Amino acid sequence: MEKSSCEVFLKYVPAISEHEILRTTYTVNCVSNSFLTYTAVVLNIIAIHAIRKTWALPKPLKTLLLSLAVSDVGVGVFVQPYYTSLLIKWLQRESVGCTSYKVFFVVLSLFAISSFFGVVAVSVDRFLAIYLHLRYQEIVTPKRVFAVVISQWFLSAVLALITWWYPHDSSVIILAVGTACLFVTAMIYTKIYLVFRRHKLQIQESFRVQRAAASGSEVATSANRRSAVDIFYLYTLYLWLVICQGAVICFLL
C-alpha cells in the first residue's frame, strides 16, 4: 500500500534522470517563487491589517475576508517556501523522500481548497447583502459567519488529508471541488451583476419620470450610469482573477 502510494505521488514530480535537463527551469522557478513568496506574505499581511482597521466593513464580511487573507498568507508562508526547498534539492540532484512529497501535497491542498471556499463564501455574502437588503444583518450574523469559517477550514483539512491516505482519488476530488467553487462563484457574480443592472434600470426610469420636476436629474442619471459601468468592470476583473487563480491552483494539483 505504501509503495503504491509513493508511486502515485512520484507521478507528479520529475524523475532524477530529468534533473539535468530541467536545471534552467528549476533555477528560474526558484528565483521567481522566492520573489512571489515575499509579495504573497507582505501584501496579504498588509491586507489583513487594512481589513482589521477598516471599521466601515460589516463584521461578517470582515471575518470572511480575514479568513481568505489568512489562507493566502499560508500559501506564502508554508507552500511556496516548501516548493522552493524542493526545487533546491532537485537542483542539487538529491533524492526526496515520499513523506516530503506527501506533506507538500497535503499543505498545498489545505490552503488551496480553503482559498476556494473563501472566495465562494465572500461571493455568497455579497449576494445576500444585495438580495436580503434590510434582513441581511438579521440573517447573516457574526456567530453564523464564524461557524461557516470554522466549517470551511475543517472541511478543507478533511479533503487535504484525503491526499495523504487516498492519493489515487485526491486529484479527482480536489479538481472537482475547485471546478465547483469556480462555477458557483461565476454564477453568483453573474447574479449580482444582473441585480445591479435591474436596480440601475429602475433608478433610470425613476429619474426619467421626475426629469421635468427635478433639474438635476440628468446629472444624477449620468452619475448612476457611470457607477453601474464601474461595478460591471470591477465585477469582470474580479471574476477573471478568481478564474485565473483557480486555474493555477488546479494546475499545481
Tens of pLDDT, residue by residue over 74-127, are 999 999 999 999 888 888 877 777 788 888 888 988 998 999 999 999 999 988
CA dist 9 and 164 (Å) reads 10
Give yes or no for residue 212 having a pLDDT over 70: no
**Which is more confident, 235 or 60?**
60
Q: Measure the CA–CA gap between 53 and 127, rounded to whole angstroms.
A: 24
Cβ–Cβ under 8 Å, residues 111 and 74? yes
The H or E element containing residue 137 is helix 136-139
Residue type for 204, please? Q
- What does the pLDDT read at residue 244? 52
In the predicted structure, residue 236 carries a pLDDT above the cut 60: no
Domains, the chain, in order of start with CATH, read: 2-252 (1.20.1070.10)
Band (143; pLDDT cuts 50, 70, 90): very high
The 10 Å Cβ neighbour count of residue 21 is: 9
Beta strands, E only, the chain: none
